[in-house]
Amino acid sequence: MKNLLRSMFTPALRPLEAGTEPYVYKPSHRKILLFVSVMFIGMATLVAIIMPGWDSGYLLPIVVFGGAGLIGLVVGGLGEDRAVARIWGSK
């Protein structure tokens, strides 16, 4: 199942996993990335629930927070250590 999901999200994972330069990775980086991603998705869901009607001004935070949360979950759950380190900007 993980291989199937990795193949589906290859366009998002490939640029983050490419390269041969050294990187710094700690297991806590992955845990924090997953936690922050869940928080972003929660914020996007909260905005979607409490927004009064379908005003286009409320769609921007939903797209931004939801997209950031989705990318974070994909990288944190399926990505290699290099991808997590690159999200954190570790060199």
Tell me if residue 25 falls in helix, strand or coil.
coil
pLDDT tops 70 at residue 4: yes
Query: Which stretch of 37-41, 52-56, 69-73 has the lowest confidence by average pLDDT?
Result: 52-56
Half-sphere exposure of 47 (CA within 13 A, CB side): 18
Q: Which amino acid would we find at residue 20?
A: T
Number of domain units in the chain: 1
| Average confidence (pLDDT) over 46-54 | 84
> Would residue 2 count as lying in a domain?
no
> Would residue 87 count as lying in a domain?
yes
Predicted pLDDT at 41: 97
Predicted pLDDT at 1: 87
Tokens of 70: 């989705």
Question: Rounded to the nearest 10 degrees, what angle do helices 10-17 and 81-88 cross at?
Answer: 80
Report the distance separating Cα 69 and Cα 84, nearest Å.
14
> Would residue 11 count as lying in a domain?
no
Q: Are 13 and 75 in contact (CB under 8 A)?
A: yes
Predicted pLDDT at 91: 64
Range of the domain at 69: 27-91
